[in-house]
A = this chain, B = another copy of it.
Amino acid sequence: MSDSAATTAATAADFAGGPPLARDAIRRLPGSKIREVANAGMGLNDVLAFWFGEPDLVTPAFIREAAKTALDAGDTFYRHNLGLPELRACLSEYASRLHGRVDVDRIAVTSSGVNALMLAGQLLLSPGDEVVAVVPLWPNVTEIPRILGANVTRVPLHIDPATQRWTLDLDRLLAAITRSTRMVIVNSPSNPTGWVMPREQMAALLEHCRRAGVWILSDEAYERLVFDGSLQAPSMLDLAGPEDRLIVANTFSKSWQMTGWRLGWLVVPPTLLDDLAKLIEFNTSCAPGFVQQAGIVAVRDGESVVRSFVDELCRRRDALVGALRAIPGLEVGEPEGAMYAFFRVDGQRDSLALAKALVRERGLGLAPGIAFGAEGEGFLRWCFAKPAELLVDGAARLRTHLGR
């Protein structure tokens, strides 16, 4: 047996002998630290759960009825990769109303907002590509590039001492964009911080990326959830045209309380639409027709749902932020949008341990800041899409725990 054959045999035997495992890149992906805290609270009674990003409201009945009607009508067959033409037309009209003309040849329906982000990544990211992301950030947004073999450079937000608001140092973001950058990811309004990117910063980023030939992936899942009365955050769609290197991801989950439906959409340059249709074919093929029928009704007839949800969210935000700011030693950045307070607890260096202690000892379920990246260490995230009395009760539990 030659040396080479001996080596081969040994390698194969070693490999065959080990346990069956996923590839290293997947094993290295961190598990959800939010879920780790939730698991720590398993089986406990009287837990106030604010850890997940989900409204407490069931999807409005008229939206559910549309799905039921479609099921009765036998809408149980494959649908077009890009979505039902009627839904795409509704989304084109909706986006055009909010942002100026967005033609239907830029719109694709996806199997959830996170699926929209995955598709955007698959469209653009090759192994070894460089991505720049504004953080702290919902972990899915930064893990998807890593699954696809890309590297992520993180540019942190900070709380401005003067305004107590989350703020981006734009120069720092632009400086992080190098010749090897393929894509910049922005999420505004932001999960977990509630930061809303000012229109002027968006314009400057777009201008810079145009010159550099860099893509922008804008996750606008929370675009309707802002508390300045405008009912829409600044959007990259307000500024960019169909020829720009821009992909905007959106979802039905938050605006219309449809988290469990797994329905979202993408706005892309028309030159990407055929390639996107191919990728949808290879990921989920299409969203269910009866789910899309519910989406049509939500977009077309759901404006009052959005309004009353935002009104209620604003009251809840004020209740929570007020209660938290009354606790000494908390630094609470004002959430201008989304549905989270992301706040620093003075003297805490281990948010995961703190969150676990809070659920075990006080029945208070919060997400640890570290779940959103190293920049989130020392913070906690609190979803305030819950009844105000529960928020106030929770704040009292936190105060007790901290002994302040």
Contact = CB atoms under 8 A, between A and B. Distances in A.
A64 B58 contact: no
A257 B19 contact: no
A78 B259 contact: yes
Given A64-B72, A213-B16, A283-B115, A125 B259 contact: no
A211 interface: yes
A127 B146 CA distance: 12
B288 A22 contact: no
A198 interface: no
Interface stretch (A157-165, A188-196, A268-276, A335-343): A268-276
A122 interface: yes
Contacts of A26: 122-123, 275, 278-279
Interface in A237-268: 243-246, 257-262
A29 interface: yes
A79 B282 contact: no
A292 B174 CA distance: 45
Interface residues of A, number: 86
A54 B75 CA distance: 13
A68 interface: yes
A59 interface: yes
Interface stretch (A7-15, A219-227, A358-366): A7-15
Interface string A1-45: 000000010011111110111110111010110000000000000
B281 A262 contact: no
A143 B212 CA distance: 31
A186 B209 CA distance: 44
Contacts of A274: 31
A149 interface: yes
A314 interface: no
A287 B262 contact: yes
A179 B9 CA distance: 10
A140 interface: yes
Contact of A114 (B123, B261, B283): B283
A332 interface: no
A74 interface: yes
A372 interface: no
Interface in A261-311: 261-262, 269, 271-272, 274-279, 281-291
A140 B8 contact: no
B114 A284 contact: yes
A67 interface: yes
B284 A76 contact: no
Interface string A115-148: 1001000111111000000000000100110010
A282 B78 contact: no
Contacts of A16: 210-213
A123 B52 CA distance: 26
Among A59, A243, A257, find the residue whose CB has the most chain B CB atoms closer than 10 A: A59
B261 A20 contact: no
Contacts of A19: 243, 269, 271
A71 interface: yes
A104 to B, nearest CB: 17
Contacts of A52: 78
Contact of A31 (B58, B179, B213, B278): B278
Given A71-B67, A111-B111, A118-B283, A123 B259 contact: no
A92 interface: no
Contacts of A213: 12-17
Contacts of A67: 67, 71, 290
Nearest to A22: B275
A404 to B, nearest CB: 33
B275 A288 contact: no
A112 interface: yes
The 5 closest A-B pairs by CB, nearest first: A15-B213, A16-B213, A58-B74, A22-B275, A59-B76
